[in-house]
Structure 1
Amino acid sequence: MQFSNAAGFVTGANRDLGPAHDDGRLAAARHAFSTPERVALSAAEEAALAAAAEAPLRHEGLELARWTLGVGPRVLLVHGWNSRGAHLLGFARPLVDAGFSVTLFDLPGHGDSTGHAASVVHAGRALRALMADIGSVHGVIGHSMGSAAALLAFAHGLPVKRSVHLAGPSSLTPMVKGIARAQGLVPSDAAAFTGWVENFIGTRIANVDLERLQHGLRHPGLIVHDTEDRIVPFAASQALHAAWPGSHLEPLTGLGHRRLLADTDVIARSVAFIADGAST
């Protein structure tokens, strides 16, 4: 197995997924980790973004679809697994009204972006490329895997003034173990799956855990999570909050993993938190 240097990641595009395994459960685990489902734009989302499209960002042989609305300090909205940038449109108009420009984009293998395979590490590299292309970013709002991608970007030295993390995982190890458990992998296949994941992402799983990323958490952060979330456990946000002195954790109930993206109170709190940093 080949790993990168101290920077942590192999720089190639989507890595070879390798041959299929005879065990269908192991193949299913690989698929669950690496192959997102594409979600089409709704008519309302297409209309909202019609005048905001920008030239795709070329990144690792891919083209990443992106849109920007408004004028002012830049805020990036980062979606989660099996989602797309437009699913965070509810945050865009309030941010624009508060004096920000807002960029949404589709992660590799998602939405209108090219590619077929992805992971949180691919997402983190894509976010870093977008931030580097923009130059100066005031804040980031990330949901689920998008939150984890932001943690990776911050750990690689990309600064923001504030960030909001909505129902996000904070370490990769429990995610990998969760997939292995969900697919019913026996210990030997779970070990094989772990090795495959590390080859696919180009680094050891431990390098994508919170203890290796928390040095990048140097700005104020807002963490929002439903205590009964069935997709990403609330414990992930508790761990992030414990490791991040400048963070504020807001537990929720009754919104689950995705409904919080449309909740007016969550949106208002997130926008207010981002805006508070504009005067500092």
Structure 2
Amino acid sequence: MTGQHASAAPSSALDSACRAFSVPQRIQASSLERSVLAQAERTTLPFEDGDIAIWSLGLGPRILLAHGWDSRGSHLAGFIEPLLRAGFAVTLFDLPAHGESGGELSSPVHAGRALAAVADSLGPIHAVIAHSLGSAAALWAFAHGLQVKASVHLCGPSSLSPMVKLQGMAFSLSSEEQALFRSWVEQHIGTQTSAMDLPALKHGLQHPGLIMHDPADRVVPFAASKDLHSHWPASDLVELDGLGHRRILTDAQVIARSCALVSSVSAQQAPA
């Protein structure tokens, strides 16, 4: 199996499930994304198995953008200009084993540690806007001490245990293989999957949140966002239509709603 091996000889389906969980695709930036990144200050942050690539633009309270699995920070480029116009600094970065960051393996825990490290290196973070895996990473970071004024969660998995079960089902694993897969995942992330479930993470949700998700999303079930909302009294849940899992990142209304939340929190906390 990929990473640390389980003791039993893996089937090809089990090995494929392990690889799918831990080895993301590296996606190249489009020409438009490269032109946006060229305007940013690029830095790197030493981190575990490889440096994290970071891009920052603007001045003001800092908004951190976090991307999803098989993605890269520049996929959230549509948020940059509206946030800059609203008076924010914007930082985007590539998670471990994604884009231009180092490393060969990743996971929600790897991503959470990376997000927390980036945030710590930048100083105060006003808000996080996160998609898919980035949302799970943000939940981990909040539970481990990252404090923000607000956060936006787009089509994110909220608990790891059901996602591991769904991935095992997607690879048609037997009951025995499901158990082996879960054990392997826990080896890979260095903790039990329950440590990445909402009951263990919800204490970090002390700020206003906006959750947006299309019930027709075929990648992350809408139930994950409903569950997050139910554990988070200070959150709003918006059901989207026709955006699926990825088109949400370029939808003008989604971007506008996200900017409105982080701006309203900033305005509420501004001195009279």
* TM-score exceeds 0.5: yes
Match of 2:146 in 1: 158
Contact 1:21 1:27 in 2 (8 A): no
What is the alpha-carbon distance in structure 2 between the residues aligned to residue 61 and residue 230 of structure 1? 32
* Letter aligned with residue 252 of structure 2: T
Secondary structure of residue in 2 paired with 1:224: strand
Equivalent of residue 5 in structure 2, options 6, 9, 18: 18
Task: Kindly report which structure 2 residues correspond to 1:1-280, keeping only aligned pairs within 5 A, or say none.
Answer: 16-18=3-5, 21-279=9-267, 280=269
Q: Which runs of 5+ in 2 are unaligned?
A: none
**TM-score, normalised relative to structure 1:** 0.93
Q: Is the 8 Å Cα contact of residues 75 and 139 (structure 1) preserved in structure 2?
A: yes
Paired residue type of 1:153: A
Q: Shift of the alpha carbon at 1:17?
A: 3.1
2:206 counterpart letter in structure 1: R
- Distance in 1 (CA, whole Å) between partners of 2:10 and 2:48 is 31
- 1:56 match: secondary structure: strand
Q: Secondary structure at the match of 1:273?
A: helix
Q: Deviations over 1:59-115 (max 9, x none)?
A: 113111110011110000000000000000000110000000000000000000011
Call closer, same or farther: CA 1:27–1:126 in 2, change over 3 Å: same
Displacement, 1:22? 4.0
Q: Secondary structure at the match of 2:265?
A: helix
Give the aligned residue type for 1:247: S
Q: Provide TM-score, normalisation by structure 2.
A: 0.96
What is the number of residues matched between the two proteins? Answer: 266
- Which runs of 5 or more structure 1 residues have no equivalent in the other structure? 1-14
Deviation at 1:227, TM superposition (A): 1.1
Deviation at 1:18? 2.3
Q: Deviations over 1:169-221 (max 9, x none)?
A: 10000110011101111111110111110000000000100010000000000
Determine the C-alpha separation between the residues in 2 that align with 1:261 and 1:41.
Answer: 15
Give the direction of change, closer, same or farther, for the CA distance of 1:178–1:275 in structure 2 (3 Å limit): same
Letter paired with 2:82: P
Q: Aligned residues: percent identity?
A: 54
Cα distance, 1:54 vs structure 2: 2.1
- Report the secondary structure of 2:42's partner residue: coil
